[in-house]
Amino acid sequence: MRSRISNGEAFCGHTGEVTMPRILSFALLTAFFFSNCPAIYADQIILKNGDRITGKILRKDGETIVIETKSAGIITILWTAVEKLVSDQPLNIKLGDGKLIKGKIAAEDEKLEVETEDGNTVPVQKEQIETVRSDAEQQRFERELNRLRNPGFFDLWAGSVDIGFNLATGNTKMRGFTLAARAVRATTRDRISLYANAIRERETVRNVNRTSASTFLAGGRYDRNIGPRIFAFGSADLEHDGLAFLNVRAVFAGGLGYRAVRTERLQLEVLGGADYDAEFFRFGFRRNTAELLLGNDLRWRIAPRIQVTERTRFLPNLTDTGRFRTNIQASMVTSLNSWLGWHISFNNRFDNRPFGTAERNDLLLTTGFRVGFGNTR
Q: List, for residues 114-129, the tens digit of each pLDDT value.
A: 988 888 888 998 888 9
Greater model confidence, 270 or 163: 270
SS3 label, residue 5: strand
- Residue 38 in this model has a pLDDT that exceeds 60: no
Phi, then psi, of 62 in degrees rounded to 5: 65, -125
**Domains held by the chain: number:** 3
* Same domain assignment for residues 346 and 197: yes
201 pLDDT higher than 50: yes
Has residue 269 got a pLDDT over 80?
yes
Out of 149, 179, 201, a domain closes at 149
pLDDT at 207: 78
List, for residues 161-192, the tens digit of each pLDDT value: 999 887 777 777 878 888 999 999 998 899 99
> Measured between alpha carbons, how far is 91 from 83 in angstroms, rounded to an integer?
17
DSSP 82-133: EEEEE-SS-EEEEETTS-EEEEEEEEETTEEEEEETTS-EEEE-GGGEEEEE
Residue ending a domain, among 100, 133, 149, is 149
Last residue of a domain, one of 149, 169, 192: 149
User: Confidence band (pLDDT; 50, 70, 90) for 12?
Assistant: very low
Domain match, 85 and 201 both: no
What is the per-residue pLDDT for 213?
A: 79
pLDDT value for 35: 45
Residues 299 and 171 grouped into a single domain = yes
With residue 213 as reference, give the H or E element that holds it.
strand 208-225
Same-domain check for residues 53 and 9: no
Looking at the fold, whether 162 and 261 belong to one and the same domain comes out as yes
Instruction: Give yes or no: residues 191 and 335 share one domain.
Output: yes
Residues 6+ away with beta carbon under 8 Å from 31 = none
Identify the pLDDT of residue 33. 47
Say what the alpha-carbon torsion angle 86, 92, 97, 98 is, to the nearest 10 degrees.
Answer: -170
Tell me: the pLDDT tens digits for 220-235?
999 999 999 999 999 9
What does the pLDDT read at residue 7?
41
pLDDT band of 37, cuts 50, 70, 90: very low
Q: Is the pLDDT of residue 293 over 90?
A: yes
Contact 25, 11 (CB under 8 A): no
d(CA 127, CA 58): 19
Same domain, 56 and 23: no
| CATH code, 333 | 2.40.128.130
What's the whole-number mean pLDDT along residues 229-255?
95
206 shares a domain with 109: no
Give the other-Cβ count within 10 Å of 273's Cβ. 18
Mean pLDDT taken over the chain: 86
User: What CATH code is carried by the domain that includes residue 81?
Assistant: 2.30.30.100
Same domain, 189 and 256: yes
Q: Which of 18-27, 311-320, 321-330 has the lowest mean pLDDT?
A: 18-27
Q: Give the pLDDT of residue 323.
A: 95
> Are 251 and 269 in the same domain?
yes
**Residue 152: its pLDDT value, please?**
80
Same domain, 28 and 173: no
Q: What is the pLDDT of residues 308-321, one digit of tens each?
A: 999 999 999 999 99
pLDDT greater than 90 at residue 333: yes
Neighbouring CB atoms inside 10 A of 209's CB total 9
Q: Is 113 exposed, middle or buried (0-12, 13-18, 19+ CB in 10 A)?
A: middle
Rounded to the nearest 5 percent, the helix, strand and coil shares of the chain are 10, 65, 20
Q: What are phi and psi of 205, to 5 degrees?
A: -125, 115
Q: Is the pLDDT of residue 205 over 90?
A: no
| pLDDT value of position 197 | 92
Interior CA angle at 348 toward 342 and 353, to 5°?
Answer: 165
pLDDT of amino acid 22: 63
Q: Can you give the pLDDT at residue 17?
A: 54
The residue that leads in pLDDT, 205 or 105, is 105
Are residues 142 and 249 part of one domain? no
pLDDT the model gives residue 26: 58
Residues of the chain above pLDDT 70, percent: 88
Domain ranges, residue 88: 43-149
314, β-bridge pairs:
294, 326
**Mean pLDDT in residue range 40-45:** 75
pLDDT interval class at 30 (50, 70, 90):
low
